[in-house]
Structures are given as C-alpha cells and as structure tokens.
Structure 1
Amino acid sequence: MVLSRVLLASKFAVASEHPLASVAGHEAMVEGGNAIDAVAATSFALSVLQPALGGIGGDFFALFYEAKTGKVHCINSSGWAPSRLTPKFLEDRGHRVVPSFGPFSVVVPGLVKGVHAIQKRFGRLEFSTLLSRAIEYAKDGFAASQGLSNSLRACHSSLSEDARRAMASSEGPPDPGELIRQKSLAKALQDIAEAGPRAFYNGWIAESICEELSGRGVPITIRDFADFEPEWVDPLEIDYRGATVHEVPPNSMGATTLLILSYLRQIDLKRLRPNSRERIELTLKAAQAAYRKRDSTLGDPRFAKINLDEFLEVEGEKRPLIEREQRILGDADTTYFAVADDEGNLVSAIQSLFHYFGSRVYVKDCGVFLNNRGSAFRLSGPNGLAPRKRPLHTLSALLLGKGDEPTMALGCSGGDLRPQQHALFTTNIVDYSMGLESAIDFPRFLWEGGHTLNIERGYTGLRNLPFEVHHIPYPGRSGVAQGVQRVKGSVKAVCDVRGDGLPVGR
C-alpha cells in the first residue's frame, strides 16, 4: 500500500514539503517558465512557509539536468565564515568547540545569491515575478502547518521575544491552521525582488544582519556579505549496478553517499530481503566506514586538496566493521524539493538553516532567521574553522538515471543522516526494483552515531544487532523525502507521508 502522496502529470510537476510552495513553482511553469524558474519560486515560497527548515538566512544547493545539452550542472551556494573569525578568537572567549547555536554559529547566508544565479543563467522569466507568491504569503499570512507548529513548540523557549512574536498569532506557539504573517520578511523579499541579490548582500539587509551579529560579539563586516559568490562545480558521478548516480561534491557530503554505494556495490544485496537484519548490518558497516573516511578527508576544497577518485576507491580495503563508539555530527532538518518541466529538464534542490530555526538568532528588521551552519566546523583538521572557509556541509541532492540521462530527482531532509538515506533510496530502487513512491515509503533504519540505531516498523530479526535499537513512529520525520521521475512521457511526483508536502503539476 502506497502512503506517500503521488501525482501523475502529463507536462510538469513540483514536489515540495509545502503545498503552497509547490503551487508557486507550478504557477511559474504555467506562466511560461521552465524548471529553473519553478525552483526560484518554490525556494522563496518555502523560505516563508517553512522558516524552521530553510530560508534566506540559510544555504542552497542544486543539481540541474539540462535536457537540450544532456549536461548536469551543479551550484554550491553555501556560505563562508566571517573573515576575522578564527579558532583563536573563539578559544580566547572560552569556546573549546564552535557553539551549536547562537551568533558564533552563523555563516554568511548563500541562498539568495545561489537561487538568483541559477535562475539568471538558466531561467526565462523575470526574477522579480518569481517572488510574488512568497511576498504574498509573508505579507497576507498563511496557515501554520502541523510541522511548523511542532517545530515552534519544540523551540519556543530558545527563540527571542521578537522571533516568538513574529511566528505566533496568539500568546503562544500557533496551532495548525493559525495565521502567521511576516511583515518584515515581506519587505525584505520585496526589495530582493526589485533589486536582486544586491538588496541582501550590499544593502540594508546585510547591514541589519551585521549589526545584530556584531552587537553580539561576532567579528563580521558588510564585506563578508558583499564578497560572497556561489560556485559552479562539477557534479560527482558513479555507476551503481548500471544506474548513474549524480551527487553534490565537497564541501557537501554528497561524496559520502557515493562512498557508501561503492562499498555496497561489492555485495549482492538482491539475495537479501529488503527488510532483513543482514541488509541493515551490511549497510551500517558501509555507512560507518564512509563516515570515518569522510571525517579524515573532506572539507572545503578551496582550502585543502581533496582527491575524490582516491576517496571513492574501495578496492583492496578491508571489509568494513561495526564500531559502536563512532560519532557523527548528529541530526538536523532541511527542506528538499524536486522539479520536472515539459522540456525534459530535472532539478534536485535543497535548502536549510541546519537545525530548527538555525542559530536561533532572529533579525527583527528584515524578519530573517540566521543559519547555524558554522557549528559544523571543528577547530582543527580538514574541516577546521578558518576565515571565509565553508564548513563540511550536510546538504546534498540526488539525480538517478540510466547512461547519460537522469530520469529521477530525489532527496530528503535529515542532516548528517542524509548519506545513509540517499544510499537507502538508491538501493531500494536499483537492487530491489522499487518504484519512486515505494522507495520513499519503505521503512528507514538510521544509525545516529555511537550505540543508537533508529528503526521504523517493518524489519525482522533485530535481536542480535550490535546496537541499541530504538523503534520510532512510522510515519515520523525520519528524513522527509520528495522526488520526481520521468515515466513513459509523463511525470510522476511524490511527496513523503512523513512530511506536510503535496505534489502539484499539469
């Protein structure tokens, strides 16, 4: 039985974690835009509708399959640390690690320049028109979703009075269906629509953010914003049992997904039941080995040379072993969306503040929640903090297909757990011949570091696993996935039952 929300469309479709964001992207294509125009409209709408998960105070990545050229493009618009923020600066102020939340966890947000850059290069509509729905939702209000209501209740005590007031229509966190208006954010989005990214990175919005952070001790300047640029990078690609898998390169963790698949490629998974103990254990061994290699290798390639061919090479390595004491960065939340248009283009896109409401720093004048992506830095090593360095980034996105033509865009939320989930989706589809909706619906098993293994119902023979097994609700929020797929001339779009999303198309 399929639980996810599935749409079959004849021309184009958007699958996002909020119905109104999917509507915004769909309208862009109805008005003559392509998949990239839909991405811009969807991204800014999500920035309003899902302020806990992603927004203009966060980052953005995308993989774009351009049908007319057969090329896959990749944009990395993850932000960098302030130019005067160093390990010594933090250590002198008593910090032994980069704080998880608060002003020192903030990097320069990349989303606005990233979305503008990809739309300017590949879109066809006027950029200003693509923010109209987002501005409307912020100015006139929208009904709080179940997910937003839950996240506000979870974080209510850690948000400032200004943030709580902006996110509530009553004395406390809103119930699902209560109206939320964000007038300050509407003003910021209106100025971005009219002036483009200069309004954010060179104007009053950057000044407001810098004033807020500087007032709380962060050595940040307007130049840190003005100098920031997104980066066009070559996507990663491997063959997995005849399927071509594209992922996002470092500083993203996309390479970690491909390394897990490289380990699993050595095993005949098809001989194992998809819900078996053996599949779980072999997959976790591969994941742990991949995370260990990631931690000793990956970071911002502008600061350290990374040999990705060597990183992805597994021939001759010892068979991975379970290590109960290994740690990972931990869970986080994000919002992923996918778009297919009537020209054959596919986009796999993701944006995030990292954790719920990011750093929990809210800039009242512009209505922006700032990310806490800097908390992913270490104070030394390949992912060590340095001025204008980008942290090792949990955001990544998938394109899957046969040969040179991707036919499926797929991804999910989930922070540091994303590589495990992307590998699970891929093996569900390739090894077990599941359709897109079945691959997303299928119960998840997720190693969270150390002794903890979270498992949704549906697996058997778990008694002797070398982990503390925690059974989690199904459906829960164990990585909310979306995807689109080209199927015999039509488009299938899927939104995970674990989230609030709805696919929209024509």
Structure 2
Amino acid sequence: MKRIFIFTFLYFLGCSSVPQKPGGVYPESSHKISNSNDGVVVTAHPLATKAGVEILAAGGNAVDAAVAAAFALAVVEPSMSGIGGRTQILIGKPNGEVIGIDGTTQAPSTYDFENAPKKRYGYPSIGVPGVVRGHTKALSEHGSLPLKQVMTPAIRLANNGHELIRGEAMRQQFVHEQLKEFAGSKQYFLNEDGSSRNAGDWVVQKDLGRVLQSIADEGPEVFYSGWIAERIVEDNQANGGVLTLESLKNYKAEDSHIVAGSYRGYGLKGLWMPAYGAITIEALQILETISDDYSDNQQWGEALYHAIEAAYLDRKKQHTLEDADRLTSKQWAQKRESEIHNDTAMKVNWRDMPESWTLPMGHTTHLTVVDRNGMVVALTQTVGTTMGSKVATPGLGFVYAQTLGGYLGEVKAGYRAPSHISPMLVTKDDKPFIALGAAGGSRIPSSIVAVISRVVDQGNTLEKAMALPRVHPVENGIAIEFTSNGGWSMADSAYFTQLGHEVSIQRRPGSFGRIHAVIKNETNGSWTGVADPDWEGSAASPNK
C-alpha cells in the first residue's frame, strides 16, 4: 500500500497555531463577497481593495481601478509583489475584445547565464523590472484617468503609513535572516535593532512614496531612464549585479498573444508565454475529455489530478505560436487524455525542473476588477518567492524580483523567463462571464482549473467553488487539501491511496493557490466578486 505523507505548515498569515501580537487584523478581511451593478474590486489586501474602489467611485474604469490596486499592493504587500517585479494583465472589454499586456522581468542583453552566479536571491538574481511599464501601458492605452490620480491612493499609503497586516508580518519574519544581508532591506523591512516588525506595527515608507510620486509626476521614463534608473543601476553594479542603464532604458511592456479554447461551451481566453494561459486551457480541455460527469467529488479530484499532470508535461514545449495553437486544440487534449495511464508517456523528470516549478509554497498576488460597464481586468504580479531577491536599494524602498541565477530556469540574454502566472477569462456568447487568476506559484493553473470546473461542472456558486478543496500533482503523487474550510477527509485520502497514489496531506491554508475572481449574474446582470477564503484579501464595491 502507498504511504500517506502529512505535512502541516504553520507559516501562513493568520494560522492560529502561531502566537500573534494583537493588531494587524483588518475587519474588511472578512468581507469576501461583494455584489454590485457599479463594479467590484477583489484583491489580496483590504487597503488595496479600498484603493481600487476609490478609483471606481471617482469614475474610473476597471483598468484604472486595477492599476490603482496594483500600486497599492506594492506598498502594503511587498513580500508578494511590487514595482521591482513582473506583471501579466488580461483585459476583457464588454464588446468581447480581449487584450493582454506582458510586463515580465527580463534579463539584460549582456547577461551570460552560463558564467553568471547561480544565486537564488541577492543582487545577481535581479533582472529588469516590468511592473511600472506594464501598469502604465495598460493605463495609457485602456484607462480613462490620469496616472497621477490613479497612483494617489498608493502614494498616500506609503507616505501616511498603514498597519502591518498579520500575514505580511509573518512572511517578512520568515525571511528575516536574508533581509539582514542587505542594507536597504534592513532599512525598510526591519526595526532599528535588526528585529522583524510585528503585526499591527505602523509602517511609513517615505522613500517609496517619493519614488511613486516621481512616477506619477513624470511617467514611467523616470523609472527606466531617470534618477530612479540611475540609482537602481549604481546600487546593482556596486554589489555584483548585471543591470545596466541601457537594459532599463530599452525595456518595453509588450502586447501579449491571446490564446483561446473552450470548456463545455464556454469560451476561454488567456495569455501566451511568458504566462501559462495555454497550459491552463490545455488542462481544462483535457479535463473536459476525461468525463462528462463530475458530480462525484472523489472522481472529480482524480480527474483534475490527471488533467493537470498531463498538461504540465508540455510546460517546456511552449516556443512558437504554432505550439500555442497545438496545445490549446481539442485534438491535443484528446491525445493527452489517451496517454494518462501510459507510464512511459506520463513519465516526469522532477529533477530537471526549475526551482520555481517544484516549491511546495507558492507566492505572488492576483487581483480582479470589473466596472459598471462590464469591463474586466485580471492582473497578476509577483517578485518570486517571499520578498523576491531580498534586495532593496537604499533610497528607493522596494524589493526586486528574483529573475536570474536559475530560479526560473535558464534565462538567456534579453529573455523573459516564463512562469505559472495565468490570468484567465471565461466568456459566454463571447462576452466576459468569469474573470479570475491566482497566486501560488506552480499551483496557479491547477487552482484556476479547479474553480472553473467547480462552477461549470458542479453548478456551485463562485463562493463555494473557491472554498471547496483542491488537488495538485507532486513528485510523491497527489497533494490534497486538508483545511478547516471543508477540505478533503481521511476517507478521501484512502480513496486516492487505493487508486495507487502516494497521498500528501497538506493543511496550510492557501497552499493550493489563492483565487480572486468576479462572475456575472445572468439573472440581473450584476457582478459578484469573491476573495479566496484562505487569504486576508477582500471584495468591495462603490456605494456600499
């Protein structure tokens, strides 16, 4: 009989097993659902949600609100994302037009992977940031308000301060020793005596506020070719990094290629590389091929496991647009489904994977917004693992993402390394129906597939679909979610064991992806936003 492995992770935001200093609890974190005709904002932090709602209330559209919330997250949730990181943005317009923006971090054109230090954090791991270009491109091309107005909530949070939420405090404490290694990180994320901050501490970030204000006043050029760029490069080169002024100046956010598929008659739209929209669509179409009936939860879990495992075989086969068409075709889904029980075809070399593909703990942040006109935005941004490179430049106040050194695999000169980021749009009659995305590293696609299937196949509300337990393929078999929110049971574990799997029971809330999503209510045309129950995020709307 296969063994059952039980892993209990205490490192989570509000895990009751870990003593907490009073404070750092936002009542709005309990506001997981919002229904409105005036728009909805769903993010991983109540203050970022509030920033987006403020912009919607001021007459902004979904892009305006999403960019405002994203910049706010850079202030209040730096362990997960920030202006030194990367972003992928999916925009669905009411007329059915779908737009994607790629703001992924990039290796400088002079980067030499073979001879570069293989550092998973520190200055050698830093590539060219993409968030600022990505967000400002989205705003200038699809927003309706000026950059200065949209960035005001984030600037206010940085300059006036905010109460450190429990989860963010715990994540920063978790990497305390690495943060101590770098002068800027010590300055911005530790106390003067070198200790970690606690939940409830009041955090003021004047240097970050100055940087954000400069971007608001002068546009993205100040970040990529002005005084901010000069300070980035000066600090980076003095400490063994590879960034150059030329590499920052030449960076552009790019239009993404939209990949498309379908599931049970609903349209699917996602982003091609360096996002994983094709893999997410492929997994859904394999799941569709396996069975027409997923009313039984155990059978659903088994099918989802196989669909994700099969689709993940193709992660290293995404190179050309011909690959995009092939991987998102129904014929390819049928081929992969037919190979599910073929041990040779399904053989996975777990040792030949980038670190980011196999970490048991996922990171990143995702937000979703819909406005009163039905425009939706699904935006995912990240710095990699907790606090990314662990480096902040003195005078600037933000951390940089991990990009180089092998964390994302081999990154060639000028290359944008792929990641599991996968904002997704489900359409009905070619119009937005569900917009969603996730945080959680390699478990991003599997969590998105699970939620879409729970809604479409099982008829669950979006709220229930996000609360129901998930599964994910791991090296030792199948990982299943045991949480207080109605996770899998020991009987379910025995079922998967009887099917021949080694079962990894995982109890840490949020370890199977954190979804933030909106769905259109077909009866009255309103929209409902739902924040993942396993995180501290919230959903809110104007005029409520």
Structure 1-normalised TM-score?
0.91
CA distance in 2, matches of 1:338, 1:408: 10
- Tell me how far 1:219 sits from its aligned partner: 2.9
* AA of the residue aligned to 1:472: Q
CA distance in 2, matches of 1:269, 1:32: 44
Q: Report the counterpart of residue 382 of structure 2 in structure 1.
A: 352
- Tell me how far 1:449 sits from its aligned partner: 3.5
Q: Report the counterpart of residue 300 of structure 2 in structure 1.
A: 279
Q: 1:284 to 1:430 in 2, by over 3 A?
A: same
Q: Which moved more, 1:213-222 or 1:104-113?
A: 213-222
CA distance in 2, matches of 1:243, 1:407: 9
2:451 maps to which of 421, 425, 430: 425
Q: Which runs of 5+ in 1 are unaligned?
A: 380-384
CA distance in 2, matches of 1:244, 1:257: 13
1:365 to 2:395 alignment: yes
Q: Report the counterpart of residue 493 of structure 1 in structure 2.
A: 529
Are 1:141 and 1:182, in contact at CA under 8 Å, matched by a contact in 2? yes
* AA of the residue aligned to 1:59: R
Q: Report the counterpart of residue 382 of structure 1 in structure 2.
A: none
* Percent of paired sites with the same residue: 26
Q: Report the counterpart of residue 164 of structure 1 in structure 2.
A: 186
Alignment of 1:439-450 (within 5 A): 439-450=465-476
Q: Which runs of 5+ in 2 are unaligned?
A: 1-29
2:333 maps to which of 311, 314, 323: 314
Are 1:455 and 1:469, in contact at CA under 8 Å, matched by a contact in 2? no
Q: Determine helix, strand or coil for the equivalent of 2:109.
A: coil
Q: Report the counterpart of residue 471 of structure 1 in structure 2.
A: 505
Q: 1:229 to 1:343 in 2, by over 3 A?
A: same
CA distance in 1, matches of 2:475, 2:278: 19
Q: Determine helix, strand or coil for the equivalent of 2:100.
A: strand
Are 1:168 and 1:180, in contact at CA under 8 Å, matched by a contact in 2? no
Q: Deviations over 1:281-320 (max 9, x none)?
A: 332222222112222x125x5xxx6521222323345422
CA distance in 2, matches of 1:169, 1:136: 22
Q: Deviations over 1:184-243 (max 9, x none)?
A: 111110100100101110112112221222123233211101111111123211111111
Q: Determine helix, strand or coil for the equivalent of 1:14.
A: strand
1:41 maps to which of 68, 83, 106: 68
* AA of the residue aligned to 2:258: P
CA distance in 2, matches of 1:307, 1:388: 21
CA distance in 2, matches of 1:289, 1:36: 34
- Tell me how far 1:266 sits from its aligned partner: 1.0
- Tell me how far 1:469 sits from its aligned partner: 2.5
CA distance in 2, matches of 1:393, 1:265: 24
1:253 to 2:276 alignment: yes
- Tell me how far 1:325 sits from its aligned partner: 5.7
* AA of the residue aligned to 1:485: I
Q: Deviations over 1:53-84 (max 9, x none)?
A: 000000111111111x3201111111210111
CA distance in 2, matches of 1:354, 1:474: 19
Alignment of 1:41-60 (within 5 A): 41-60=68-87
Q: Deviations over 1:62-113 (max 9, x none)?
A: 111111x3201111111210111123322xxxx5xx4322223222111001
Q: Deviations over 1:239-261 (max 9, x none)?
A: 11111111111121121111111
Q: Report the counterpart of residue 400 of structure 1 in structure 2.
A: 426
CA distance in 2, matches of 1:474, 1:372: 24
Q: Determine helix, strand or coil for the equivalent of 1:484.
A: strand
Alignment of 1:24-103 (within 5 A): 24-67=51-94, 69-90=95-116, 98-103=118-123
2:172 maps to which of 143, 146, 152: 152
- Tell me how far 1:169 sits from its aligned partner: 5.0
Are 2:477 and 2:504, in contact at CA under 8 Å, matched by a contact in 1? no
1:241 to 2:271 alignment: no
* AA of the residue aligned to 1:358: G
Are 1:336 and 1:411, in contact at CA under 8 Å, matched by a contact in 2? yes
The CA RMSD measured in Å over matched residues stands at 2.1
2:358 maps to which of 330, 334, 339: 330
Q: Deviations over 1:398-452 (max 9, x none)?
A: 1112120111111110111111111111211111111111111111222243446
Q: 1:166 to 1:465 in 2, by over 3 A?
A: farther
Are 1:298 and 1:306, in contact at CA under 8 Å, matched by a contact in 2? no
Q: Deviations over 1:366-420 (max 9, x none)?
A: 11200003344434xxxxx221111112211011121201111111101111111
Q: Determine helix, strand or coil for the equivalent of 1:89.
A: coil
Q: Determine helix, strand or coil for the equivalent of 1:447.
A: strand
* AA of the residue aligned to 1:217: G
CA distance in 1, matches of 2:286, 2:108: 37
Q: Determine helix, strand or coil for the equivalent of 1:8.
A: strand
Q: 1:340 to 1:150 in 2, by over 3 A?
A: same
* AA of the residue aligned to 2:519: Q
Are 2:225 and 2:248, in contact at CA under 8 Å, matched by a contact in 1? yes
- Tell me how far 1:168 sits from its aligned partner: 4.0
* AA of the residue aligned to 1:129: Q
CA distance in 1, matches of 2:157, 2:139: 21
Q: Determine helix, strand or coil for the equivalent of 2:107.
A: coil
Structure 2-normalised TM-score?
0.85
Q: Determine helix, strand or coil for the equivalent of 1:360.
A: coil
Q: 1:432 to 1:474 in 2, by over 3 A?
A: farther
- Tell me how far 1:33 sits from its aligned partner: 1.0
* AA of the residue aligned to 2:423: A
Q: Which moved more, 1:351-360 or 1:323-332?
A: 323-332
Q: Determine helix, strand or coil for the equivalent of 2:280.
A: helix
- Tell me how far 1:26 sits from its aligned partner: 0.7
Q: Report the counterpart of residue 438 of structure 1 in structure 2.
A: 464
